[in-house]
Amino acid sequence: FPKGRSSSLMIRVIRGARTQGEERGVIQRECAAIRAQFRQADNGTRSHNLAKLLYVHMLGYPAHFGQMECVRLIASPRYNEKRVGYLGAMMLLDEKQDASLLITNSIKNDLSHSSQYVQSLALCTLGCMGSAEMCRDLAPEIDRLLRASNSYIKKKAALCAVHIVRKVPELGELFTPASRSLLSEKNHGVLHGAVVLITELCERNPETLEQFRKAVPELVQIMKGLVMSGYSPEHNVAGISDPFLQVRILRLLRILGRNNETASDAVNDLLAQVATNTDSSKTAGSAVLYETVLTVMDIKSESGLRVLAVNILGRFLLNNDRNIRYISMTSLQKIVQTDHNAVQRHRGTIVDCLKDQDASVKRRALELSLALVSAVNIRSLMKELLLFLSSCPPELRAHTTSGIFNAAERYAPSQRWHIDTILHVLTTAGGDVRDETVPNLIQLITTATELHCYTVHKLYRALIADISVQSLVQVACWCIGEYGDLLLRGECEETEPVQVAEDDVLDALETVLQSHMSSPATRGFALTATMKLSTRITHNVDRIRSIVSIYGSCIDVELQQRAVEYNALFKKYDHMRAAVLERMPVIDKSSPGHTNGESAGGSIKEMEPTKRTQEVFSYLDMKYRLDAPLDHVTRPGKTLGPNYRLFMTFVSHSHPPQSVQLQMKAPSGDVIPAHGLGQVTQTVLLNNPNKVSLKMRVRVCYTSQDFVCQDTVQIDSFPSPAW
């Protein structure tokens, strides 16, 4: 019968296929042959055929028809067939397949086989894919092997027990006694398995954890032996004696020492010893040091030890190996809140890592830098962050900008610095900022009253340089619309003033309006700004009139509506234009969830973050123009002449607090006859759930005998049900 490796031949043929289609053809033929062979009686080729099938499976082709063959081969008395059969079972079967149940019996038998290599196969398979049922069934057998077998089997039985405990946690109790005695073994493999098993048991059962705390001294001894022992060739890795075992012991000590003074105390000296004596020039040593640091930070360590641990992390930051720098930063991130000052000492190195080539390292450095920002270091750290922003990878930009904004908001040393910082970010990465940035910046600008002139100058200069960054352009337009008069005055304390004419400013806004780079929202800003300038400039109002009139037939519905309304403001309501477009008051920061539409919002409306609705336009919204009088307008002593058209403008100087909602109903008419012979009423619904005390100021604009008049009424006392 065929000698040698027929699977090699098949593999060679498959690899020789030049196209996917050809490969599929070869595979189909081979699988057909394999199937045929499976159906035949035992002819000594079964293991080779299954091996071939496993190769085909690894290429991604279906191989489920081999499952039963695995079962058969596992039951074979021949080692070579068992070996492949078990391999096949691990590759083709998992606990969800019915066929896996069929191998339980074979495993059971093989666990007590005379050959340890057969036992090994069974243990390996059970530990890899044993279902809960199989685990329950075979647990006593595993326990027996844990106690009475050679070290080759014991170490495998220990890890098998780990798998069983993961599958059926209650069985942990069964293994606890045996695992305790395994700690006195000298064989590293067994010891390692024992430590892993004990760790698993302690993680699942607080009582077991309590029990094993008594083993801390023993574990400390073992660890000391590893650290201080001489060169052991069998377990040595780059000068470290069995780093795998050392790490596992450290991890177990961490679990045992957590929240426990006694256990932690017993371990302090050892940790200091490991920290000092471990050579970290290679990965193996660094792995041990890393685990040591994690353990120190997690148990109740003395403060000196904690500082030592943080310093190790600091040293890691300077390591040439990028992986070690990365690890250091993830660890520092975990402790930056609890050990803030200790981590601050390494801020310089962390900030340097922002310049690292590797994207993962950069990301960690960014996160840590943001966590380290404080009132003390804000200026210098922000410089670094802004530098980082100008060259940071695209996937980090959004996170960086929002981090910078948060930091600036919390620790800005001055308003000017704050505004400058935000403008810098918008210029560098304006496309990657969150949508609330625009209204937030505007709100900030309004509060910095002494800086209006400075701000509008900066923004004007930014606008004429570049109109591609929408967020920046929107804020610039808003500012120019609002503070354009300061721009035109030609003087400024804080910065070099520009010498511009009204036409220049209007040119800038019109460029934005007409540019195809401008989003619809941006154009809305530009149009409104242009309109507002009509009350701030003196010579070129006609130009504004014509712009507004042109956009009255704009295809964009939003712009068209605005233009039409502005047009009306010019035509029918020109006497009100100044009042409507006057300077905004300082805006409160509002809370989210504020409804608009019917309610009079005195503060910023947080916008739904779609490009379309980034409308700071709402600042204008605060001024409602209503063709309706209020009954209080006829005050005693004052009579109105015949035929008044009365208009009321509700002005938001005393804008209602956030919780109050206002709804204006339609007025009953728009003319008050003379001599008090009639009145017009309008109902205003106020919703005042928090029962804040209310004041309302009402400005009334009316024409009386062709004169435009304006009257302001303050209503200080409301009927008591209102609050």
Partner 1 sequence: MLFIYPSLCPTVRPTMPQVPEISMALLPFINNYTHLQCKMRFLLLFSRQGKLRLQKWFTPIPEREKKKITRDMTTMVLARKPRSCNFLHWKDLKIVYKRYASLYFCCGLDAEENELLALEMLHRYVELLDKYFGNVCELDIIFNFEKAYFILDEFLLGGEVQETSKLVVARSVEASDMLQETMEEYMSKPAF
We find the least distance from the C-beta atom of residue 128 to partner 1, in angstroms, to be: 6
**Residue closer to partner 1, measured from CB, 384 or 615:** 615
According to CB under 8 A, which one of 6, 149, 268, 323 is a site residue for partner 1? 323
Sites for partner 1 among residues 617-676 (CB under 8 A): 617-618, 620-621, 624-627, 664, 666
Binding of residue 193 to partner 1 (CB under 8 A):
yes
Assess 283 for contact with partner 1 (CB under 8 A): yes
| H or E stretch at 700 | strand 696-704
Instruction: Please identify, using beta-carbon distances, which residue of 224 and 594 lies nearer to partner 1.
Output: 594
118-177 positions binding partner 1, by CB under 8 A = 120, 123-124, 127-129, 152, 155-156, 159-160, 162-163, 166, 169
* Comparison of 56 and 453: residue with beta carbon closer to partner 1: 56
Cα dihedral 334→340→345→351 (10° resolution): 60
Closest separation in Å from C-beta 476 to partner 1: 20
- Residues numbered 31 to 60 that lie near partner 1 (CB under 8 A) are 44, 51, 54-55, 58-60
Kindly state whether residue 117 participates in binding partner 1, applying the rule CB under 8 A.
Answer: yes
363 is an interface residue for partner 1 by CB under 8 A: yes
Inter-residue contact 675 to 639 (CB < 8 Å) = yes
Q: What residues between 588 and 627 interact with partner 1 by CB under 8 A?
A: 592-597, 601, 605-610, 612-613, 615, 617-618, 620-621, 624-627
- Contact positions with partner 1 (CB under 8 A) in 465-494: none
| Residue 606 near residue 590 (C-beta atoms within 8 A) | yes
Phi, psi dihedral angles at 237 (to 5 degrees): -130, 110
Q: Is 247 in the site for partner 1 (CB under 8 A)?
A: yes
DSSP label at 171? G
* Range in contact with partner 1 (rule: CB under 8 A) among 234-242, 302-310, 494-502, 692-700: 234-242
The answer to the question of residue 11 lying near partner 1 (CB under 8 A) is yes
Question: For residue 593, how many other CB atoms are within 10 A of its CB?
Answer: 7
244 vs 454, which CB is nearer to partner 1?
244
Residue 243 binds partner 1, judged by CB under 8 A: yes
**Numbers of helices and strands, H then E, in the chain:** 33, 9
Smallest gap from Cβ 492 to partner 1, in A, equals 31
List, as own/partner pairs, every contact residues 662-668 make where C-beta atoms lie below 8 angstroms and the sequence separation is at least 24, other chains included.
662/599, 662/600, 662/686, 662/687, 663/598, 663/599, 663/687, 664/600, 664/624, 664/626, 664/628, 666/628, 667/626, 667/627, 667/628, 667/629
228 part of the interface to partner 1, by CB under 8 A? no
- 73-112 residues near partner 1, rule: CB under 8 A: 78-80, 83-84, 87, 91, 94-96
* Token pair listed for 359: 């994207």
37, 268, 360, 374: residue in contact with partner 1 (rule CB under 8 A): 360
Reduce the DSSP state of residue 647 to 3 states and report it: strand
Nearest to 209 by CA among 171, 247, 252: 252
- The residue (of 170 and 494) whose beta carbon lies closer to partner 1 is 170
User: Which 397-426 residues touch partner 1, going by CB under 8 A?
Assistant: 398-399, 402
Residue 691 Rama label (left phi>0; alpha psi -120 to 50; beta)? left
CB of 298 to partner 1, least distance (A): 5
In DSSP terms, which residues pair with 708 in a beta bridge?
703
* Burial class, 651, CB count within 10 angstroms (exposed 0-12 / middle 13-18 / buried 19+): buried
